[in-house]
Amino acid sequence: KQEVTQIPAALSVPEGENLVLNCSFTDSAIYNLQWFRQDPGKGLTSLLLIQSSQREQTSGRLNASLDKSSGRSTLYIAASQPGDSATYLCAVRPKYNAGNMLTFGGGTRLMVKP
Amino acid sequence: DAGVTQSPTHLIKTRGQQVTLRCSPKSGHDTVSWYQQALGQGPQFIFQYYEEEERQRGNFPDRFSGHQFPNYSSELNVNALLLGDSALYLCASSYADLGNEQYFGPGTRLTVT
Protein backbone atom coordinates (compact mmCIF):
# COMPACT_ATOMS: atom_id res chain seq x y z
CA LYS A 1 0.00 0.00 0.00
CA GLN A 2 1.37 3.38 -1.03
CA GLU A 3 2.05 5.79 1.85
CA VAL A 4 3.01 9.43 1.43
CA THR A 5 4.68 11.46 4.17
CA GLN A 6 5.40 15.16 4.28
CA ILE A 7 7.98 16.75 6.53
CA PRO A 8 7.82 19.13 8.28
CA ALA A 9 4.14 19.23 9.23
CA ALA A 10 4.39 22.97 9.88
CA LEU A 11 6.93 25.64 9.02
CA SER A 12 7.23 29.33 9.89
CA VAL A 13 9.77 31.51 8.10
CA PRO A 14 10.47 35.24 7.67
CA GLU A 15 9.65 36.82 4.35
CA GLY A 16 12.37 36.51 1.71
CA GLU A 17 13.72 33.14 2.78
CA ASN A 18 14.21 30.28 0.35
CA LEU A 19 12.64 27.09 1.65
CA VAL A 20 12.28 23.40 0.87
CA LEU A 21 9.28 21.18 1.53
CA ASN A 22 9.78 17.43 1.53
CA CYS A 23 7.59 14.57 0.34
CA SER A 24 8.42 10.86 0.53
CA PHE A 25 6.53 7.86 -0.79
CA THR A 26 6.96 4.15 -0.12
CA ASP A 27 6.26 2.62 -3.56
CA SER A 28 8.37 3.93 -6.44
CA ALA A 29 5.95 2.55 -9.06
CA ILE A 30 4.21 5.84 -9.72
CA TYR A 31 2.80 7.44 -12.85
CA ASN A 32 3.34 11.00 -11.69
CA LEU A 33 3.53 13.27 -8.65
CA GLN A 34 1.58 16.47 -8.17
CA TRP A 35 2.08 19.37 -5.74
CA PHE A 36 -0.95 21.33 -4.58
CA ARG A 37 -1.61 24.45 -2.55
CA GLN A 38 -4.62 24.71 -0.23
CA ASP A 39 -5.78 27.88 1.49
CA PRO A 40 -7.78 27.43 4.74
CA GLY A 41 -11.17 25.86 4.09
CA LYS A 42 -10.69 25.98 0.32
CA GLY A 43 -10.11 23.52 -2.50
CA LEU A 44 -6.77 22.46 -3.96
CA THR A 45 -4.85 24.44 -6.54
CA SER A 46 -2.42 22.46 -8.67
CA LEU A 47 1.08 23.92 -8.63
CA LEU A 48 3.27 21.44 -10.49
CA LEU A 49 2.90 18.01 -12.08
CA ILE A 50 5.98 15.84 -12.60
CA GLN A 51 5.70 12.75 -14.77
CA SER A 52 7.64 9.68 -13.62
CA SER A 53 10.12 10.12 -16.48
CA GLN A 54 10.93 13.70 -15.46
CA ARG A 55 13.40 14.94 -12.83
CA GLU A 56 11.99 18.39 -12.17
CA GLN A 57 9.44 21.03 -13.09
CA THR A 58 9.55 24.79 -12.62
CA SER A 59 6.89 27.47 -12.44
CA GLY A 60 7.91 30.97 -11.46
CA ARG A 61 9.45 30.88 -7.96
CA LEU A 62 8.55 27.20 -7.54
CA ASN A 63 10.72 24.24 -8.46
CA ALA A 64 9.77 20.63 -7.80
CA SER A 65 12.16 17.71 -8.13
CA LEU A 66 11.48 13.99 -8.26
CA ASP A 67 13.80 11.12 -7.34
CA LYS A 68 11.64 8.09 -8.02
CA SER A 69 14.22 5.50 -7.04
CA SER A 70 14.57 6.93 -3.54
CA GLY A 71 10.87 7.76 -3.24
CA ARG A 72 11.35 11.47 -2.67
CA SER A 73 10.22 14.81 -4.03
CA THR A 74 11.02 18.33 -2.90
CA LEU A 75 9.24 21.61 -3.52
CA TYR A 76 11.58 24.59 -3.48
CA ILE A 77 10.08 28.05 -2.96
CA ALA A 78 12.38 30.96 -3.71
CA ALA A 79 12.14 34.36 -2.02
CA SER A 80 9.08 33.47 0.03
CA GLN A 81 6.27 36.02 0.43
CA PRO A 82 3.40 36.32 2.97
CA GLY A 83 1.02 35.37 0.14
CA ASP A 84 2.73 31.96 0.01
CA SER A 85 1.21 31.11 3.41
CA ALA A 86 -0.94 28.03 2.89
CA THR A 87 -0.88 24.25 3.24
CA TYR A 88 1.15 22.44 0.59
CA LEU A 89 0.18 18.89 -0.32
CA CYS A 90 1.94 16.34 -2.46
CA ALA A 91 0.13 13.43 -4.10
CA VAL A 92 1.26 10.43 -6.14
CA ARG A 93 -0.61 8.46 -8.78
CA PRO A 94 0.14 4.71 -8.64
CA LYS A 95 1.43 3.18 -11.85
CA TYR A 96 -0.33 -0.17 -11.81
CA ASN A 97 -3.86 0.96 -11.23
CA ALA A 98 -7.03 0.93 -13.31
CA GLY A 99 -7.94 4.46 -12.44
CA ASN A 100 -5.98 7.59 -11.65
CA MET A 101 -6.63 8.01 -7.94
CA LEU A 102 -4.21 10.14 -5.97
CA THR A 103 -2.62 9.22 -2.63
CA PHE A 104 -1.92 12.34 -0.57
CA GLY A 105 0.49 13.23 2.16
CA GLY A 106 -0.71 15.02 5.28
CA GLY A 107 0.55 18.39 4.07
CA THR A 108 2.97 21.05 5.29
CA ARG A 109 1.40 24.20 6.80
CA LEU A 110 3.56 27.14 5.79
CA MET A 111 3.45 30.57 7.37
CA VAL A 112 5.58 33.36 5.91
CA LYS A 113 5.90 36.30 8.29
CA PRO A 114 6.24 39.86 6.96
CA ASP B 1 -13.61 28.42 -18.99
CA ALA B 2 -15.34 27.40 -15.77
CA GLY B 3 -13.27 25.15 -13.61
CA VAL B 4 -14.65 22.40 -11.39
CA THR B 5 -17.74 23.54 -9.53
CA GLN B 6 -19.38 21.99 -6.47
CA SER B 7 -22.63 22.54 -4.64
CA PRO B 8 -23.61 23.30 -2.01
CA THR B 9 -20.74 25.18 -0.36
CA HIS B 10 -21.73 24.29 3.16
CA LEU B 11 -24.18 21.78 4.60
CA ILE B 12 -25.32 20.89 8.11
CA LYS B 13 -27.02 17.54 8.69
CA THR B 14 -28.08 15.44 11.64
CA ARG B 15 -26.80 11.94 12.41
CA GLY B 16 -28.71 9.29 10.49
CA GLN B 17 -29.76 11.60 7.68
CA GLN B 18 -28.77 11.28 4.04
CA VAL B 19 -26.92 13.87 1.94
CA THR B 20 -26.24 14.45 -1.77
CA LEU B 21 -23.31 16.53 -2.99
CA ARG B 22 -22.90 17.66 -6.60
CA CYS B 23 -19.97 18.28 -8.90
CA SER B 24 -19.58 19.62 -12.43
CA PRO B 25 -16.21 18.83 -14.03
CA LYS B 26 -13.96 21.22 -15.90
CA SER B 27 -15.05 21.65 -19.51
CA GLY B 28 -13.88 18.71 -21.64
CA HIS B 29 -13.06 16.43 -18.72
CA ASP B 30 -14.70 13.02 -18.59
CA THR B 31 -13.48 11.57 -15.29
CA VAL B 32 -14.65 12.63 -11.82
CA SER B 33 -13.10 11.60 -8.51
CA TRP B 34 -14.34 12.29 -4.99
CA TYR B 35 -12.14 12.80 -1.93
CA GLN B 36 -12.86 13.27 1.78
CA GLN B 37 -10.61 15.60 3.75
CA ALA B 38 -10.87 15.60 7.54
CA LEU B 39 -9.60 18.66 9.38
CA GLY B 40 -5.82 18.82 9.42
CA GLN B 41 -5.34 15.80 7.17
CA GLY B 42 -4.68 15.11 3.51
CA PRO B 43 -7.58 14.13 1.24
CA GLN B 44 -8.61 10.45 1.12
CA PHE B 45 -9.84 8.92 -2.13
CA ILE B 46 -13.49 7.78 -2.06
CA PHE B 47 -14.20 6.68 -5.65
CA GLN B 48 -13.87 7.62 -9.29
CA TYR B 49 -16.38 7.65 -12.15
CA TYR B 50 -15.70 7.30 -15.85
CA GLU B 51 -18.27 6.68 -18.59
CA GLU B 52 -21.01 6.63 -15.94
CA GLU B 53 -19.40 3.66 -14.17
CA GLU B 54 -17.50 3.45 -10.89
CA ARG B 55 -13.98 2.68 -12.08
CA GLN B 56 -12.14 2.63 -8.78
CA ARG B 57 -13.04 2.75 -5.11
CA GLY B 58 -11.10 3.59 -1.97
CA ASN B 59 -11.57 2.18 1.50
CA PHE B 60 -14.99 3.64 2.24
CA PRO B 61 -18.16 1.79 3.33
CA ASP B 62 -21.16 1.19 1.09
CA ARG B 63 -22.92 4.13 2.77
CA PHE B 64 -20.94 6.18 0.28
CA SER B 65 -22.30 5.87 -3.24
CA GLY B 66 -22.15 7.92 -6.38
CA HIS B 67 -23.39 8.51 -9.85
CA GLN B 68 -22.11 10.06 -13.06
CA PHE B 69 -24.47 11.54 -15.61
CA PRO B 70 -24.11 11.60 -19.44
CA ASN B 71 -22.85 15.21 -19.24
CA TYR B 72 -20.02 13.93 -16.93
CA SER B 73 -21.36 15.71 -13.84
CA SER B 74 -21.45 13.61 -10.70
CA GLU B 75 -23.17 13.16 -7.36
CA LEU B 76 -21.88 11.78 -4.08
CA ASN B 77 -24.47 10.30 -1.74
CA VAL B 78 -23.87 9.45 1.88
CA ASN B 79 -26.50 7.51 3.85
CA ALA B 80 -26.92 7.08 7.60
CA LEU B 81 -24.61 9.97 8.40
CA LEU B 82 -22.18 9.63 11.29
CA LEU B 83 -20.42 12.38 13.23
CA GLY B 84 -17.17 11.14 11.67
CA ASP B 85 -18.46 11.98 8.19
CA SER B 86 -17.96 15.67 8.98
CA ALA B 87 -15.30 16.81 6.51
CA LEU B 88 -14.53 18.80 3.39
CA TYR B 89 -15.62 16.80 0.34
CA LEU B 90 -13.57 17.54 -2.76
CA CYS B 91 -14.35 16.72 -6.34
CA ALA B 92 -11.60 16.44 -8.95
CA SER B 93 -11.86 16.10 -12.71
CA SER B 94 -9.46 14.98 -15.41
CA TYR B 95 -9.24 13.30 -18.79
CA ALA B 96 -9.32 9.52 -18.79
CA ASP B 97 -5.66 9.43 -19.84
CA LEU B 98 -3.64 8.46 -16.80
CA GLY B 99 -0.97 11.05 -17.36
CA ASN B 100 -3.22 14.03 -17.08
CA GLU B 101 -3.40 16.54 -14.28
CA GLN B 102 -6.35 16.54 -11.89
CA TYR B 103 -8.21 19.76 -11.16
CA PHE B 104 -10.05 20.23 -7.89
CA GLY B 105 -13.21 22.10 -7.02
CA PRO B 106 -13.66 24.38 -3.99
CA GLY B 107 -15.23 21.60 -1.94
CA THR B 108 -18.38 21.14 0.13
CA ARG B 109 -18.03 21.49 3.90
CA LEU B 110 -20.31 18.92 5.56
CA THR B 111 -21.02 19.18 9.27
CA VAL B 112 -22.89 16.33 10.96
CA THR B 113 -24.38 17.15 14.38
DSSP A3-44: -EEEE-SEEEEETT--EEEEEEES---EEEEEEEEE-TTS-E
Is residue B45 over pLDDT 90?
yes
Does B102 contact chain A (CB < 8 Å)? Answer: yes
Q: Measured between CA atoms, how close is B68 to chain A, in angstroms?
A: 15
Q: Among B43, B92, B98, select the one facing A31 at the smallest CB separation.
A: B98
Question: pLDDT digit string (tens) for B54-93?
Answer: 988 999 999 999 999 999 999 999 999 999 999 999 999 9
Q: pLDDT value at position B99?
A: 60
A-chain residues near B50 (CB < 8 A): 99
Nearest to B103 by CA among B24, B21, B10: B24
Q: pLDDT value at position B101?
A: 82
Q: pLDDT value at position B102?
A: 87
Nearest to A83 by CA among A46, A110, A108: A110
Question: pLDDT digit string (tens) for A38-95?
Answer: 999 899 999 999 999 999 999 999 999 999 999 999 999 999 999 999 999 999 998 8
